[in-house]
């Protein structure tokens, strides 16, 4: 089974995707994480992507599509994949369809998580990541047991540079202009479901898991 999580920045895609992928035994493939990993590793792709990410803009389709294709070639993708933060444009959705088709696979479900803008800004502004192990926290909704330090490894918690208020505004604008229409691609293939993400984390997880399990 292969699933796609759509939705604006801050809606909780990453949190939900991690839980749902684990429950269903899928590989959690988050393009944002792949790109941040490439930046940390100092690869050419990372260098190319950094300027776009810092400005809150989308990294060009060909760069992201290539990263995804390469990741799908690794053996652990064979059990099925949950795509998080990808596709973000219609050409990316078309590229993903073609890549999966070449592997005899398809997207079975596309879940579009939505919440009001005020909720998104609140969720983004409190988001923190461990600079060492990348564990994710939220100062209000999922605080670390060790305050400003990571509850898992003790590393310092930092705010993602693109989570600062001025970049968040740009990312929401980019979402509306370039990504919001991607849902239409999946409506056409009959795999689309709108998910109310303005609910407690567990209620959203149960909703998505219920829908995905009915596909199995």
* Alpha-carbon torsion (197, 25, 37, 106), positive or negative: negative
Residue written as token pair 């909704």: 141
Considering the complex, state which of residue 2 and residue 92 has its C-beta at the smaller distance from ligand AMP: 92
What angle, rounded to 10 degrees, do the helices at 61-72 and 44-54 form? 130
**What is the total count of residues that contact ligand AMP (CB under 6 A)?**
17
Do residues 158 and 128 touch, judged by C-beta distance below 8 A?
A: yes
Q: Is 32 in the site for ligand AMP (CB under 6 A)?
A: yes
Q: Tell me whether residue 171 is one of the annotated catalytic residues.
A: yes
Using the rule CB under 6 A, is 35 a contact of ligand AMP?
Answer: yes
> Is 160 a known active-site residue?
yes
Residue 12 sits in the site that holds ligand AMP (CB under 6 A): no
Helices (H), 43-116: 44-54, 61-72, 90-102
Least separation in angstroms between CB 161 and ligand AMP = 10
* Residue 13 is among the residues annotated as catalytic for this protein: yes
By the rule CB under 6 A, 129 interacts with ligand AMP: no
Q: Looking at residue 175, what DSSP letter applies?
A: I
Is residue 127 among the annotated active site residues? yes
Residue 91: CB minimum distance to ligand AMP, A: 10
Catalytic pick from 69, 160, 187, 199?
A: 160
Tell me the residue number closest to ligand AMP, measured at CB: 32
Using rule CB under 6 A, residue 53 touches ligand AMP: yes
- 57 labelled catalytic: no
**Residues whose CB falls within 8 Å of the CB of residue 111, separated by 6 or more in sequence, listed in order:** 3, 4, 5, 6, 193, 195, 208, 211, 212
Q: Indicate which single residue of 16, 29, 157, 162 sits in contact with ligand AMP (rule: CB under 6 A).
A: 162
Q: DSSP letters of 5-57?
A: EE--TTSSHHHHHHHHHHHHT-EEEEHHHHHHHHHHHT-HHHHHHHHHHHTTP
Kindly list the residues in this chain that would bind ligand AMP in the complex (CB under 6 A).
9, 31-32, 35, 52-53, 56-59, 64, 85-86, 88, 92, 162, 171
Q: What are the catalytic residues?
A: 13, 88, 127, 160, 171
């Amino acid at each position: 089974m292969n699933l796609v999580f759509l939705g604006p920045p801050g809606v909780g895609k990453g949190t939900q995707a991690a839980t749902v992928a684990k429950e269903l035994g899928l590989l959690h493939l988050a393009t944002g994480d792949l790109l941040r990993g490439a930046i940390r590793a100092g690869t050419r792709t990372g260098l190319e992507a950094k300027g776009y990410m810092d400005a809150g803009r989308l990294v060009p389709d060909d760069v992201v599509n290539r990263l995804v294709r390469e990741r799908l070639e690794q053996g652990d993708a064979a059990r099925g994949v949950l795509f998080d933060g990808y596709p973000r444009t219609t050409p990316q959705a078309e590229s993903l369809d073609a890549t999966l088709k070449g592997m005899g696979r398809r997207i079975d479900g596309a879940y579009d998580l939505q919440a009001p803008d005020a909720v998104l800004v609140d969720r983004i502004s409190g988001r923190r990541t461990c600079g060492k192990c990348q564990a994710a926290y939220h100062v209000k909704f999922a605080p670390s047991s060790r305050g400003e330090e990571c509850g898992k490894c003790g590393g310092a918690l930092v705010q993602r540079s693109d989570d600062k208020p001025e970049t968040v505004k740009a990312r929401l604008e980019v979402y509306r202009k370039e990504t919001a229409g991607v849902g239409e691609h999946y409506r056409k293939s009959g795999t689309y479901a709108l998910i109310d993400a303005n609910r407690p984390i567990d209620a959203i997880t149960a909703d998505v898991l219920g829908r995905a399990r009915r596909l199995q």
